[in-house]
Amino acid sequence: MNKPLRRIAIFCGLLVLALLVRTNWIQYVQADSLQTDEKNQRIRIERYSEPRGNIIVDGDPITGSKKTDDPYLTYKRTYKDGPMWAPVTGFASQIYGATQIEQLEDKILTGNDDRLFFRNTMDMVTGKKKQGGNVVTTLNAAAQKAAFKGLGDNKGAVAALDPSTGAILALASAPSYDPAKIAGQSKADATEWKKLLDDPDKASVNRALRETYPPGSTFKVVTAAAAMEHGLYDDPDGKTDSPLPYTLPNTSQDLPNEGNLPCKDASLRVALQYSCNTVFGKIGADLGRDKMLETAGKFGFNKPVDTPVRAYPSVFPKKMDKPQTALSSIGQFETAATPLQMAMVASAVANNGTLMEPYMVQQLQAPNLDTIEKHEPKKMSEPLSEENAQKLQSMMETVVNKGTGTSARIPGVTVGGKTGTAQHGVDNSEKPYAWFVSYAKTDEGSPVAVAVVVEDSKAARQDISGGGLAAPIAKSVMQAVLDKK
């Protein structure tokens, strides 16, 4: 072979080698990512070529599928009471992808889950069309309706849990959006999508899981737990060493209370009843950063929670000096929490100190309703002992019986709670957030714990309070759960 031919042969050989390497790279390295890439048209076609399975609440589907005129995207998603359930379902759009349960359980809903392989193979042999499975949730329709209706035109969110299992009973967020309006590929869908993206009120944000707020005085429940767990005080009715006024450590700045309250040396019960900043600020400073961090961490702060939709981590600051620790311990400084997190705090107290892992998918079903996977409740942590949890319960019940949370009373039912009115903005210039965390208790135990935050109401600034705005919503959610029992 002469020299020119040899060079051409080597060059061609290199091209063939490069082609082989590239082909194998795509087939064996990039195959999975290409198959699951949202830009892959085959995924969209496969997702909407058949009716999707449904998301189920209380035995009834809250989703559906509707035939379209498109030869490839043959079905589009429909939703029942879309705005009310959007924080749970998310959306499944022929153009804009999918979110939340629609995304996380897409393989079950489309019938593409590996666990449906045998069934799909049999259907192919018999000529039966492939069907999607169902996602059965833990949600309580009455509680969800009460939460969404209670929020009304206000911005805010509600999270409700079953303390004994961690099952999520309600997950409402307002304002909301209708996922049905962006499910298709029409101009109207595109207009609605743009409105959603440009919405200054962030209707597409799941505020119950994905928005953190300063928790204000509701965090004092955590500080009270820390005081007892670390042995600073063990008697809810014993006097604390709490001066009035209380000056933040290493500063000349007094920590004020909201009015002329009986907070000097107040017991933990009285301090929680009147929401004494001075008592709980001093407790935080006395305990110190590490002990407060330890207790907050056991309640779930500083770590994400998968429900399976991931909730943003709530924050108890890791870097702070003594006065900042005092402020953090009354829910100020950089302390921030999701409504789900504060429902977890109330839930752990109501469940005698045991925090169960929150979840909202009870089981996954095959198209013939056979169970493919069933969730078993899991213990997440034990933030406080049973004895201390019961002491804290008695204190939270005092808050509802004769403190700042009386608007959450339910006749014939034991209710514990804690209000919060969280200042925020530059020099606290914004309208405060109104909080309420609570639980209801019967002879059989506690079936529900609730956290409510009203982010922005139409009420005048001086009329905004956790007891006035958030507690009535929590009461209606608890009542809805109790009525179903």
Hey, which residues does 438 pair with through a beta bridge? 417, 450
The set of residues, in sequence order, having a beta carbon less than 8 Å from that of 217 and lying 6+ positions away, is 275, 277, 330, 331, 418, 419, 420, 421, 422, 435, 466
Q: Is 186 a catalytic residue?
A: no
Q: Which structure tokens are listed for 177? A: 């959006």
List Cα–Cα distances, 19 to 5, 28, 33, 156, 223, in angstroms.
21, 14, 20, 56, 64
List Cα–Cα distances, 113 to 33, 53, 135, 432, in angstroms.
16, 12, 13, 46
Question: Of these residues, 93, 173, 217, 457, which one is catalytic?
Answer: 217
What is the Cα–Cα distance from 135 to 105, expressed in whole angstroms? 8
Question: Could you tell me if 250 and 321 are in contact, meaning their C-beta atoms sit under 8 angstroms apart?
Answer: yes
The set of residues, in sequence order, having a beta carbon less than 8 Å from that of 65 and lying 6+ positions away, is 51, 52, 75, 76, 77, 78
Among residues 144, 3, 118, 119, the alpha carbon closest in space to that of 62 is found at 144
Please identify which residue in the block is written with the tokens 């029409």. 186
CA 313 to chain centre: 10
Question: What DSSP character marks residue 431?
Answer: P
What is the Cα–Cα distance from 412 to 415, expressed in whole angstroms? 9
Specify burial of residue 424 (Cβ count, 10 A radius: 0-12, 13-18, 19+): middle
List Cα–Cα distances, 160 to 276, 361, 455, in angstroms.
26, 14, 17
Question: Could you tell me if 212 and 315 are in contact, meaning their C-beta atoms sit under 8 angstroms apart?
Answer: yes
Please identify which residue in the block is written with the tokens 């949600």. 139
What is the Cα–Cα distance from 318 to 324, expressed in whole angstroms? 11
Total H helices, total E strands in the chain: 18, 20
What is the Cα–Cα distance from 49 to 174, expressed in whole angstroms? 33
What is the Cα–Cα distance from 441 to 254, expressed in whole angstroms? 38
In terms of phi and psi (left: phi > 0; alpha: psi -120 to 50; beta: otherwise), the region of 176 is: beta
CB atoms inside a 10 Å sphere around CB 257: 20
What is the Cα–Cα distance from 387 to 5, expressed in whole angstroms? 90
What is the Cα–Cα distance from 8 to 343, expressed in whole angstroms? 72
Catalytic residues: 217
